[in-house]
């Protein structure tokens, strides 16, 4: 029997071959992931920096609050900016309640059945439908069949149909994050499902729900295809500075479509204007996203379990 295995103090903590290899791989992997993260951030910074640089000559409050002029070769963004706000707000007013309540039903009330399976399947698949397909559906369903004509209402409803599945999915995630044991505890105390939802489930998921809804603002604001056949026009002058200048049964301009138009359809546009339009579009979206991020941080600090 070999009992004289000796470990000398000098060699005990010197690095073995395997140890060296592990340390090397560890470093390589860390740098690899860091590079990937940078690859994600660098283009974003470049895009925003380039846009700001190019847009600087035109950017001003006046740019935001005056209508486009000279066949959209000069002037500001008021009509398309307000149009985008109308489209986003109306579409969310429709999509957010329906989406949130549908998700509450699916997650809190519905039992596993063919109905819920089909609904969940529809939600997943609708989220993957290209926006141009939603546009065609909007033309058929809202503009023609429902007789809304090309209007803010028809365009907003089309956007709502497009954002609905994602709102349902994000709300479901937020509801699922509330531990099942809370619900069981409530039921054991003789609470109804509704009392459980109102007192425990919703208060503890509302921030997640709102974050999901707010993130859809950026999607609705950025889409061009669903609105160009259903309610957005190339040009329409409205009263400057009046927040109620649009009527939802009429057509409107929109930032995304405006950007497309002045970049590709109108010759001799003042150089800064398309960039300024892009800055306003990206800036508004980032502002709204920032709100949702702040909301999320706020929730984390006062998480209750």
Using the rule CB under 8 A, is 200 a contact of another protein?
yes
Q: Of the candidates 114, 145, 244, 305, which one interacts with another protein according to CB under 8 A? A: 305
Which CB atom, from 178 or from 257, has the smaller least distance to another protein?
Answer: 178
Using CA atoms, how far residue 229 sits from 93, 149, 200, 226, 247, in Å, is 21, 10, 43, 7, 18
**Short-list 235, 276, 271, CA closest to 253:** 235
Residue 24, both tokens: 């090397």
The string of DSSP codes covering 74-117 is: EE--HHHHHHHHHHHHHHHHHHHHHHHHHHHIIIIIPPSSHHHH
Using the rule CB under 8 A, is 300 a contact of another protein?
no
Total residues at interface with another protein (CB under 8 A)? 20
Minimum CB–partner distance for residue 81 and another protein (Å): 41
Q: How many CB atoms are closer than 10 A to CB 76? A: 23
Which CB atom, from 209 or from 245, has the smaller least distance to another protein?
Answer: 209
Minimum CB–partner distance for residue 165 and another protein (Å): 25
Residues in 140-199 at the binding interface with another protein, rule: CB under 8 A? 181-182, 184-192, 195, 199
Which CB atom, from 183 or from 219, has the smaller least distance to another protein?
Answer: 183
Using the rule CB under 8 A, is 64 a contact of another protein?
no
Which CB atom, from 32 or from 109, has the smaller least distance to another protein?
Answer: 109
Burial of 91 per CB tally in 10 Å (0-12, 13-18, 19+): buried
Using CA atoms, how far residue 230 sits from 95, 140, 226, in Å, is 17, 9, 7
Which CB atom, from 61 or from 189, has the smaller least distance to another protein?
Answer: 189
Minimum CB–partner distance for residue 199 and another protein (Å): 7
Minimum CB–partner distance for residue 185 and another protein (Å): 4
Between CA 303 and CA 166 the distance in angstroms is: 24
Q: How many CB atoms are closer than 10 A to CB 49? A: 10
Would you give the binding string for another protein spanning residues 84-123, x where CB under 8 A is met? Answer: ---------------------------xx-----------
Torsion of CA 199, 200, 201, 205, to 10 degrees: 100
Which CB atom, from 59 or from 200, has the smaller least distance to another protein?
Answer: 200
- Write down the H helix ranges in 189-271: 193-196, 206-222, 225-228, 255-264
Partnered with residue 68 across adjacent β-strands are 75
Minimum CB–partner distance for residue 178 and another protein (Å): 9
Residues in 204-223 at the binding interface with another protein, rule: CB under 8 A? 204
**Interface with another protein (CB under 8 A):** 111-112, 181-182, 184-192, 195, 199-200, 203-204, 304-305
């Amino acid at each position: 029997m070999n009992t004289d295995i000796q470990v000398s103090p000098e060699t005990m903590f010197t690095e073995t071959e395997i140890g060296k290899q592990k340390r090397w791989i560890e470093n390589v992997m860390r740098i690899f992931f860091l590079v990937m993260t940078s690859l994600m951030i660098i283009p974003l910074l470049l895009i925003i920096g380039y846009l700001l640089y190019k847009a600087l000559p035109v950017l001003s409050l006046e740019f935001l609050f005056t209508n486009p002029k000279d066949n959209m070769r000069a002037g500001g963004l008021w009509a398309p900016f307000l149009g985008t706000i109308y489209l986003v707000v109306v579409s969310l007013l429709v999509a957010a309640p329906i989406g949130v309540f549908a998700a509450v039903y699916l997650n809190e009330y519905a039992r596993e059945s063919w109905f819920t399976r089909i609904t969940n399947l529809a939600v997943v698949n609708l989220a993957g439908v290209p926006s141009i397909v939603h546009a065609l559906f909007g033309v058929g369903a809202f503009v023609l069949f429902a007789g809304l004509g090309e209007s803010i209402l028809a365009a907003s409803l089309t956007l709502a149909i497009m954002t609905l599945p994602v709102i349902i999915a994000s709300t479901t995630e937020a509801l699922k994050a509330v531990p099942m044991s809370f619900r069981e505890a409530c039921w054991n105390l003789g609470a109804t499902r509704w009392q459980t939802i109102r007192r425990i489930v919703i208060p503890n998921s509302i921030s997640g729900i709102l974050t999901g809804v707010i993130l859809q603002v950026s999607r609705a604001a950025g889409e061009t295809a669903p609105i160009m056949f259903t309610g957005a026009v190339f040009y329409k002058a409205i009263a400057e500075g009046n927040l109620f200048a649009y009527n939802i049964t009429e057509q409107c301009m929109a930032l995304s479509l405006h950007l497309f138009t002045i970049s590709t359809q109108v010759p001799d546009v003042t150089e800064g204007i398309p960039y300024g339009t892009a800055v306003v579009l990206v800036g508004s979206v980032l502002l709204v996203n920032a709100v949702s991020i702040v909301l999320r941080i706020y929730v984390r600090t006062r998480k209750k379990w």
